[in-house]
Structure 1
Amino acid sequence: MVLPQAEFVYNRSQSKSTSKSLFEVVYGSNPIGPLDLVPFPINHSFSSDAEERVKQIWSMHKEVRKKIIRQNEKYTEQANKFRKPTTFKEGDLVWIHLRKERFPQGRFGKLKPRADGPFRILKRVGENAYKVELLGDYGVSATFNVSDLLPYAEEDEGSDLGTSLFQPGESDGENENTI
């Protein structure tokens, strides 16, 4: 019962990207109430004001397109700010980042390492996906996004990814006697 009212309010709210509401983009103005959206009876006479109104709406559509494209470019620039292009070759060894959404409940836990490996790259599936040779029963697809893969290096063998940085016997505080 409230859904049509919520939809009306949403369509009347201003978009951050375009600084216009959806009603403004489609109809050229914001209606005050739902009755303002009722179509007028079609009159077959020609009006020069209508032609001018169409030109205004078309120019507004061009402006909105430019704003959306500009906003998308900003979002893309921000999203790619810290991304590094990573490519692997067949046979390379990688670590797999264990995401709790992807792996079975028993495989993922708060205190378990966040990565597993090394695994061998079998082939490149797409621009940013690789098929990995999974050893054992993981219960997931062997195809991973490049964001879930880290290059394996021999010196990483002793480190444990995602666990505490402090070694046994060390303290993370300056004075152990303080509570």
Structure 2
Amino acid sequence: MYPKLRDVNDATQTAELFFREIVRLHGVPRTIVSDRDTKFLSHFWRTLWRKLGKKLLFSTTCHPQTDGYTEVVNRTLSTLLRTTLGMYLKKWVDCLPFIEFTYNRAVHSATKKTLFEMVYGFNPQTPLEQTPLPPAEMTNLNGASKAEFIKKIQQKVAENLEKRTG
């Protein structure tokens, strides 16, 4: 979930982008962790999230990672960028969609699932894969079967998380 903020100038535009790219696909998060950009510190942004009953958390300049998960994601994405780009660091913006796709398709140690599996119930194929389409039961599920399939994955993820946190 990394929407482009390149042409966003103020808190109102940030909120519109957030609802269009995040909330529409994933719902309203319980908390939002962001940097101290003026867009996120504005009266509009704070009022919006207070009215929604949600918590805003801000990172600090000296310690931008505010939780362990953020630290792991930042470290992983930094490593992916470095190893993917090598000496072509000026092309990092062009590579971000591919790095995000790779990250979302990687199995995470805590859940034993990929982010794609947890959200959509399956892993999309990569452009390089020359394998046939997934089995018919994966591509032709009716709504109820698809919902049940996703519930099973989410239950398995919850079990894996429970085992890990014990």
TM class, shorter-length: 0.3 to 0.5
Specify which structure has the bigger relative contact order, considering alpha-carbon pairs within 8 angstroms and separated by 6 or more residues: 1
> What TM-score do the two structures reach when normalised by structure 1?
0.31
Give the structure with the higher percent strand: 1
> What TM-score do the two structures reach when normalised by structure 2?
0.34
